[in-house]
């Protein structure tokens, strides 16, 4: 077999292997931004820790939520903060953060229903704060991010009316890294789309809708802004900027390493304390 035929056959094999990874063709030049230093971790004050530890908090999430809570727990242990963190779908029994795996991944609308069902249970303790986080995997190609944002906002608004004494804190979607290196280059060479661009574009559309709706309330916990270092980690997709998970705080393409857990964990405690303190009628 001649050298040209060998190269051609190799390219055919590679193209075939890559074809299952992404069906969309690239229509714009993507330029990922180099990994930047993550934002500095701001340690919550003693007053903020004490305030959060006294609240009854319910948190529905999946894997990245576990990363964030791991950061919270490690920081609390280091600083000798008696913050109770437990996993259960049962009604709250006392102060602290009670979390549960909400719904099923890749079914974000089902998560909205499940979250409402858990909230509707009789509880011996009042729910001061409730949070619902989607997973990065919920933004498959078939998902309309703007419709999903509408459904998310509508659900939280309806739940807030049904539970007037509970503060509902919306959360942006976590991000994934952008594929880079030889494999990404080869995909571009073959007219394919490197991983992370299309899905992060959908997450960005969802997140922007939440930012527009909740911006003035200051209740939004912006996971994506923290993960992307306020947009410094990202790229260009079809002529528009998108955010991506900063590889420096990632353990894989979508989860957080220790630095990422600490960054988001400390930010969450500060946010919970600030929002609860500023809310009218809250303890």
Average pLDDT rounded to a whole number, residues 63-91? 96
| The pLDDT of residue 80 is above 60 | yes
- pLDDT for the residue 193: 65
With bands split at pLDDT 50, 70 and 90, how would you rate the model's confidence at 188? low
Distance CA 195, CA 133 (A): 23
Instruction: Locate 216 and state its tokens.
Output: 């003035």
| The pLDDT of residue 17 is above 90 | no
- All domains in the chain, ordered by first residue: 41-173+209-224+252-278 (3.40.50.1110)
Which of residues 64 and 3 earns the better pLDDT score?
Answer: 64
- pLDDT for the residue 3: 56
- pLDDT for the residue 20: 42
Which of residues 208 and 23 earns the better pLDDT score?
Answer: 208
| The pLDDT of residue 217 is above 70 | yes
Instruction: For strands 167-170 and 234-237, give the pairing.
Output: unpaired
| The pLDDT of residue 207 is above 80 | yes
Average pLDDT rounded to a whole number, residues 244-263? 97
Which of these ranges, 83-97, 124-138, 154-168, 183-197, has the smallest mean pLDDT? 183-197
Each residue's pLDDT tens digit, 98-156: 999 999 999 999 999 999 999 999 887 899 999 999 999 999 999 999 999 999 999 99
């Amino acid at each position: 077999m001649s050298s040209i035929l060998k190269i051609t056959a190799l390219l055919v094999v590679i193209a075939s292997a890559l074809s299952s990874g992404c069906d969309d063709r690239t229509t714009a030049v993507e330029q990922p931004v180099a990994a930047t230093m993550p934002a500095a971790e701001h340690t919550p004050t003693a007053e903020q820790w004490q305030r959060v530890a006294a609240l009854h908090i319910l948190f529905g999430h999946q894997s990245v939520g576990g990363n964030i809570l791991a950061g919270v727990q490690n920081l609390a242990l280091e600083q000798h903060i008696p913050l109770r963190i437990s996993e259960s779908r049962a009604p709250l029994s006392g102060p602290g953060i009670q979390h549960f795996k909400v719904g099923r991944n890749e079914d974000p609308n089902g998560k909205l229903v499940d979250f409402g069902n858990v909230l509707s249970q009789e509880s011996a303790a009042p729910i001061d704060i409730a949070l619902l986080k989607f997973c990065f995997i919920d933004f498959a190609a078939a998902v309309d991010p703007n419709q999903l944002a509408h459904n998310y906002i509508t659900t939280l608004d309806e739940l807030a009316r049904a539970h007037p004494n509970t503060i509902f804190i919306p959360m942006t979607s976590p991000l994934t890294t952008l594929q880079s290196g030889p494999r990404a280059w080869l995909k571009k060479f073959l007219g394919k789309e490197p991983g992370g661009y299309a899905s992060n574009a959908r997450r960005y559309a969802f997140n922007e809708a939440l930012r527009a709706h909740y911006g003035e309330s200051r209740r939004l916990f912006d996971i994506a802004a923290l993960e992307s270092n306020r947009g410094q980690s990202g790229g260009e997709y079809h002529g528009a900027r998108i955010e991506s998970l900063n590889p420096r705080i990632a353990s894989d393409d979508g989860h957080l390493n220790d630095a990422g857990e600490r960054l988001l964990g400390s930010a969450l405690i500060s946010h919970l304390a600030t929002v609860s303190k500023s809310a009218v009628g809250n303890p």
